[in-house]
């Protein structure tokens, strides 16, 4: 079993060793029996679209290419359904699942991309 903890931007962590120690304590407290030390630490690109919804379906101009990207911040709960939709698209050519709003060719809002969910929470959090 693998458990993934997604944390804040590494650049926002002043002292990684302290942050990891705190994470280890929380894992030990909340998930007894699990080895609390991380086995791998990595920094990965967040993937967002301008309207903050994923892009799922045929790549524009490339009908033999299926896309499923732009899930950062909200993909885990969608993964089983998106996997099913992709499998159906690949094998049957269509899916009955309502993914039209995720069409990679949809019109996206103009202007700067939406900020990350974490940024929005940080901005809206009351000052201490």
Ligand X SMILES: Cc1cc2nc3c(=O)[nH]c(=O)nc-3n(C[C@H](O)[C@H](O)[C@H](O)COP(=O)(O)OP(=O)(O)OC[C@H]3O[C@@H](n4cnc5c(N)ncnc54)[C@H](O)[C@@H]3O)c2cc1C
Contacting positions for ligand X (CB under 6 A): 6, 44-47, 71-76, 79, 83
3-state secondary structure of 20: helix
Q: Looking at beta carbons only, is 25 or 74 nearer to ligand X?
A: 74
Smallest gap from Cβ 73 to ligand X, in A, equals: 5
Please report how close the Cβ of residue 12 comes to ligand X at its closest, in angstroms. Answer: 14
Cβ-based nearer residue to ligand X, 44 or 63: 44
Closest-by-Cβ residue to ligand X is 75
Q: How would you label 57-72 residue by residue, b for 16+ Cβ within 10 Å and e otherwise?
A: bbeeeeeeebbbebbb
Which residue lies nearer to ligand X by CB, 40 or 128? 40
Question: Closest Cα partner for 87 from 68, 106, 72?
Answer: 68
Coarse DSSP helix, strand, coil percentages of the chain, rounded to the nearest 5 percent: 35, 10, 55
If the CB atoms of residues 50 and 117 are measured against ligand X, the closer one turns out to be 117
């Amino acid at each position: 079993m693998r458990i993934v903890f997604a944390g804040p931007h590494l650049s926002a962590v002043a002292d990684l060793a302290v942050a990891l120690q705190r994470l280890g304590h929380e894992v030990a407290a909340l998930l007894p029996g699990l080895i609390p030390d991380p086995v791998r630490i990595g920094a990965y690109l967040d993937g967002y679209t301008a309207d903050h919804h994923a892009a799922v379906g045929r790549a524009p101009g490339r009908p033999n290419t299926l896309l499923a990207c732009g899930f950062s911040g909200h993909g885990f709960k969608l993964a089983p359904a998106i996997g099913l939709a992709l499998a159906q698209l690949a094998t049957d050519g269509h899916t009955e699942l309502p993914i039209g709003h995720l069409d990679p060719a949809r019109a996206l809002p103009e202007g700067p991309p939406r900020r990350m969910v974490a940024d929005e929470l940080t901005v809206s959090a009351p000052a201490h």
